[in-house]
Amino acid sequence: MIRLFLTALFSALPFSAFAQQAAPQYYTFEPSATFSTLGISYTIAMMVAFLAVGWYAKSRVSTSDDYFAAGRSFGGISNGLAMSSNYMSLATFLGFTALLWRLQYYLIAITLSFLGGFVLISIAMAPALRRWGKYTSMQFIGERFGHTAKIVAVLCMIFLAQLYLIGQMKGTGNVFQVMFHWDYTTGMVVGGLVVTAYVTIGGMYGMSYNQTLQAIIMGLALIIPTAIILWNIGAGPASVFPPFGYGSLVPEMEKALPSYFDPFLTVNGTVPMSLKFHIGIILSIAFGTIGLPHIAMRYFTAPSIRNAKISTLWGAFFVGLIFFTTFAVGFAAKLYTVQVLNQQMNLQVQPKEADLLLVVMSQAFTPTWIAALPIAGALAAGFSTIAGLLMVIGTGIGHDIYSTISPNADDKKKVKMGYLFTALGGLATIVLALDPPDFLLTSVIWAFVVAASTFTPVLILGIWWKGANTLGAIAGLVVGGVLSGWLWFSKGVFFGFPLIQAGPVGNLVTGIFTVSAAWFTVVVVSLLTGGEKDEKVLREIDRIHGWRNYDPKRYSSNTFAIVTAAIALLLMIWSAMPDPAYKKKAELPAQPTITVAAVAQHQ
């Protein structure tokens, strides 16, 4: 089986890579001429299609509801598809395979946290936000907590959106550079201009239609090659459904790498992942999913509460299908690396090449016209995420901030501002991505931590606790935003004190402290300042939960707030306590470890 794998793959690789075997060598992927030609053809066809869809959608835009919420006409499967492609970035499509190859069980924790975030959204947020009936979560914060809170929320949104956006722009440029031998700047600018153009032209209608199309492209571009790869390496009939397709190969993996399925050992069994690390992942990723503004925007496009809930379920299904298919590719890549490259060929795969493992195996095991599909899927994923975030920026500034500055502006003026600031947001991101600093390689995870630490506590408490007030919300946003940025830059160190004791990549899970700190701040400040007193706001809280009558005692108990604040305080203290798992590891002889820079190369 593995010999077949080796023969097929090596037949597609340059012979020079194996000329010497006395010392470890590094493989460099080189796409074939036919592969590159087909990849460019697919890319051009996609770009033309996306622009055409955006231009078509322009004819449907006549009001601010059309531009910012697609006329509230997307529901069920179409909105679920759009939500899933909006959520899955270029880093998801290619980077997850590399992360699984490198980190094994760690990625499963991240993926389950992603899906857990969707479950929490469907329970805690989607119905209430849809009943509120606006365009963005920033608008909800503005009407729930006042104009100042809305402005602070928009600033937090711009911060996390840029983190997310620049990483996607950079990834787009890198794909063009590696696959088509374009200059990085040329590829990034071309891709950035195309997505900026179709989002600006068509607004939420254009973005939604394109995201639905992009989700279909992503699914086909990943599932078809993966099924063929698994079949050719001997996985058997189960290969037709890739998420379960590698089951027959599990005994071989357990023999080759026993630590692969260990939830507390990763990186070939050399790095511990303690319970604290997994809780940090949940708080950073699951809570980050709840707070992402471009995901929340999808609920405002649904025609009803029921459709908003159904959209979330379909979104979770499509996201899960893609994520678990990447496990199959990563599993095959890891098995191949351990059994063949490392043990038999003394050949190593560098992290930058690991990002292309899906493409490498597609070129080796599938017909060329199929092998080039993952490139189209990766770019579709990147474009979709960029589109969603640009729409958030355009809405946040062009509508939320502009309507605060000019409350009497007419509807057409607001739409024009949406066009303007969506375009400016795209151009600004392109400029910033021309020469991004190294930390932006991990900007996607950082954006999740910022979202979890700013929007999530304020949104959940604002929906479920009437006592949350303006000062509490503003304080929570500021504390969460400042701490998440600080602890990321300082790698979990606060004024010389290590706050995040979660191992060598602890700064990736700063949410264990920052989310708890923001939640604690909202509750404590709200209680100390007397809670919410505006009866109009209190009545709205009952309304968004579906109640037809107003009851001042409903959702007003301080017990819920105090208990959750106490839990948050305990988590903050626990995060600062030394973890025995890492202390014990430090006492052992030197072992290979994973650095933040190494993880960053996978984002």
CA–CA separation, 125 and 276 (whole Å): 27
How many folded domains does the chain comprise?
Answer: 1
- Residue 596: pLDDT over 60: no
> Residue for token digits 């400042």?
482
Among the listed residues 346, 87, 69, the one whose alpha carbon sits nearest the alpha carbon of residue 218:
87
Range scoring the smallest mean pLDDT among 36-45, 68-77, 285-294, 487-496: 68-77
Task: HSE, CB side, 13 Å, CA atoms: give it for residue 248.
Answer: 13
User: What is the per-residue pLDDT for 145?
Assistant: 93
Whether 211 and 384 have beta carbons less than 8 Å apart is answered as: yes
- Is there a domain that residue 345 lies in? yes
Given pLDDT bands bounded at 50, 70 and 90, which one contains residue 586? very low
Torsion of CA 254, 256, 259, 262, to 10 degrees: -30
pLDDT tens profile 73-101: 666 788 788 777 777 777 666 767 777 77
The CATH number of the domain where 172 resides is what?
A: 1.20.1730.10
User: What is the per-residue pLDDT for 8?
Assistant: 40
pLDDT tens profile 344-367: 666 666 666 666 777 877 877 888
Query: Which residues does 24 contact at the CB level (< 8 Å), separation at least 6?
Result: 346, 347, 348
User: What is the per-residue pLDDT for 500?
Assistant: 67
- Give me 519's structure tokens: 């939640």
> Which whole number is the average pLDDT over 211-220?
84
- Is there a domain that residue 99 lies in? yes
- Residue 462: pLDDT over 50: yes
Domain span holding position 183: 40-438
Full DSSP string of 482-518: HHHHHHHHTTSEETTEE---S-TTGGGGTHHHHHHHH
Range scoring the smallest mean pLDDT among 393-407, 409-423, 543-557: 393-407
User: Which stretch, 100-104, 482-486, 487-491, has highest mean pLDDT?
Assistant: 482-486
What Rg value do the Cα atoms of the chain yield, rounded?
Answer: 24
- Is there a domain that residue 520 lies in? no
CA–CA separation, 192 and 205 (whole Å): 19
> Which whole number is the average pLDDT over 494-503?
67
**Residue that wins the pLDDT comparison between 462 and 378:** 462
Range scoring the smallest mean pLDDT among 426-430, 554-558, 592-596: 592-596
User: Which stretch, 146-155, 164-173, 396-405, 517-526, has highest mean pLDDT?
Assistant: 517-526
Residue type, 323: F
CA–CA separation, 251 and 527 (whole Å): 56
Full DSSP string of 438-483: GGGGGHHHHHHHHHHHHHHHHHHHHHH-TT--HHHHHHHHHHHHHH
- Is there a domain that residue 540 lies in? no
- Is there a domain that residue 199 lies in? yes
**Is 237 in a helix, a strand, or coil?**
helix
Q: What is the pTM of this model?
A: 0.79
> If you ran DSSP here, which 8-state letter would residue 271 be given?
E
Query: Which residues does 429 contact at the CB level (< 8 Å), separation at least 6?
Result: 162, 165, 166, 169, 192, 386, 390
Percent of the chain clearing pLDDT 70 (strictly above)? 76
Torsion of CA 333, 334, 338, 342, to 10 degrees: 60
- Is there a domain that residue 12 lies in? no
- Is there a domain that residue 189 lies in? yes
Given pLDDT bands bounded at 50, 70 and 90, which one contains residue 341? low
User: What is the per-residue pLDDT for 502?
Assistant: 56
User: What is the per-residue pLDDT for 12?
Assistant: 40
- Is there a domain that residue 588 lies in? no
Whether 272 and 582 have beta carbons less than 8 Å apart is answered as: yes
User: What is the per-residue pLDDT for 306?
Assistant: 79
- Residue 587: pLDDT over 50: no
End-to-end CA distance of the chain: 31
Query: Which residues does 257 contact at the CB level (< 8 Å), separation at least 6?
Result: 104, 268, 269, 334, 335, 338
pLDDT tens profile 227-277: 998 888 788 888 889 888 888 888 888 888 887 887 777 777 777 777 777
